Structure 1
Amino acid sequence: MGLGLKTFPTLAAAGEALAASATARYLGGGTLVVRSANEGDVRFDTYVTASEQALTDITVADGRATIGAGVTMARIVREPALGFLAPVAKAVGGAAIRNMATVGGNLFAPVPYGDFAVALLALDANLDIDGQPVAASTFLAGRDTTHARALVRSVSFALPVDGTFKFAKASRIRPKGVSVVTIAAVVEERAGTISSARIAYGCMADRPIRAPAVEMALVGKARTAEGIAAALAVATEGTTPPTDAIASAWYRSEVLPVHLKRLLLSA
């Protein structure tokens, strides 16, 4: 049996079509759902998509960025105003994948994928779902339940102060291999000490997560090897890393503090 495709002018109309059919799936860039179909998933028979302009818009104004959920990683790489996110987008697969993979789709990507979602979590992004703002942390916590069939229109976040956003990805194959562990951070300093920190991990749970123990341990400390020692000591607190074909849970837990230290001490 073949797969059908239905295109709607608005995301709301596409959402209604999804709600009316348990065998329909939303088609964004296709790197997840088309792969699933190609691998033999017969739980759906129809692709649903939307041509709404907002899905592919990028707006950067008044210290805030709004990125349509249909924007591809390749566009992120080319967008001058989002230069700090270029290394994140470049970490998502090869060129062919980046030409199709979308910001919205990455939010749903299972471990060990979803590097861009880790960055959005560290940026404390909000998602537009049905016209309502939903924190990225809230969405990710309910991604497989409350928000399993949610349609994301866009993501938005305050632009980080220059030099405060940091990203690292450890993989077996550089630069585009599947993640062993991913870390994104926004670390602000004042008068020689860390005034605020947001740290997010990928591949340290079944979805991207924040590291509140690390964040608390960093505030008020100097960004030096001695200053971050307490944060590194609690680097794995609250994590439940998976074991998969890429790495074991033990290995991920062992290398996380190493990569976190490098990230925090980087210029």
Structure 2
Amino acid sequence: MPVTVKTCATPAEAAAALSSDRGARYIAGGTLVMRALNEGDVGITTLVRLADRALAQIRISGARVSLGAEVTLLAILRERELSYLHPVVRSIGGPAVRTTGTVGGNLFAASPFGDLTAALLALDAMVSVQSGYGARDMTLEEFLAGRERAAGTLALGVSFERPASPDAFRYRKIARVKPKGASVVSIAAHVPNMGGRVSNVRIAYGGMAATAIRAKAAERALEGRALDEAGVAAAVAAAAEGTSPATDAIASAWYRREVVGVHLRRLLLGLEA
């Protein structure tokens, strides 16, 4: 079946094209859409693209960071002021994937992929979206919760505050093929230290549900505690609470629940994998 490519001039035009055609998919880097086409997905009949260079821009103003949806993973690696995200990006695919894969595409990656999304969730990111109702900002958590129902919604970019200190943001990916395989689980944590105790804790997982999710029970258990064995133990005890991992070719749901606490402990205590 032939596939039509439609180039739009504005986000509103692209959102309208997506919402008016069930077979339309947005394409930027193509690491998800082209894979689906190559694997024979006949439900895709139209590829929608947007000729807007602003979507490929990185903006850093003070502590606020904005990444356009078409910023590539490679562009993040090249930006020295985003060094805290470099370990995340290096854990995703190989050079070809990082050259073409985009921030926006990663937001739509199904588990066990989407490691950057887990990191952005831990950074309390906001997502700018365009739909038939106009443009608006929403939390990444809200975006992920409604992602599968959001036909015709176009992600324009994400924004977040940079980590409070160099050691406040932590990331670990557990994969059978290292360093770039699909995740058994990925863990990102933002743990600002205030007077020896952590405050405004955010912990996010990849591979522990259909999308990246926050580990809210672990966050509550760790809030206000020291990052020592006793404080971390409380978070570890609640590590798998609220998760719903899948059984797939990478790992079973049982195994993911068993190991997530082990790796959360090592991440929070700064131990080697």
TM-score by length of 1: 0.97
Contact 2:16 2:152 in 1 (8 A): no
Give the aligned residue type for 1:141: A
User: Superposed, which structure 2 residues align to 1:1-267 within 5 Å?
Assistant: 1-130=1-130, 131-145=135-149, 147-162=150-165, 163-266=167-270
Give distance in 2, aligned partners of 1:142 and 1:17.
20
SS of 1:128's equivalent? strand
Give distance in 1, aligned partners of 2:195 and 2:62.
26
Contact 2:17 2:152 in 1 (8 A): no
Contact 2:202 2:214 in 1 (8 A): yes
> CA-atom RMSD, angstroms?
1.1
SS of 1:226's equivalent? helix
Shift of 1:9: 2.0
Give the aligned residue type for 2:72: T
Give distance in 2, aligned partners of 1:245 and 1:210.
24
Deviations 1:193-215 (A, max 9, x none): 11221000111111111011111
Shift of 1:34: 0.8
Contact 1:54 1:153 in 2 (8 A): no
Give distance in 2, aligned partners of 1:12 and 1:71.
19
5+ long unaligned stretches in structure 2: none
5+ long unaligned stretches in structure 1: none
Among all aligned residue pairs of Structure 1 and Structure 2, give the percentage whose two residues are the same amino acid. 50
Give distance in 2, aligned partners of 1:148 and 1:200.
25
Contact 2:126 2:138 in 1 (8 A): yes
Contact 2:18 2:153 in 1 (8 A): no
Give distance in 1, aligned partners of 2:60 and 2:258.
39
Give distance in 2, aligned partners of 1:190 and 1:120.
22
Shift of 1:148: 3.9
Shift of 1:149: 3.4
Give distance in 2, aligned partners of 1:124 and 1:43.
34
Contact 1:201 1:209 in 2 (8 A): yes
SS of 1:228's equivalent? helix
Give distance in 2, aligned partners of 1:35 and 1:53.
24
- Matched pairs, number: 266
Give distance in 2, aligned partners of 1:23 and 1:110.
19
Deviations 1:211-252 (A, max 9, x none): 111111111211011221111111100011110000000110
Give the aligned residue type for 2:28: G
Shift of 1:58: 0.5
Shift of 1:123: 0.6
TM-score by length of 2: 0.95
Deviations 1:168-193 (A, max 9, x none): 00000111011000100100111111
Contact 2:19 2:153 in 1 (8 A): no
Give distance in 1, aligned partners of 2:252 and 2:153.
31
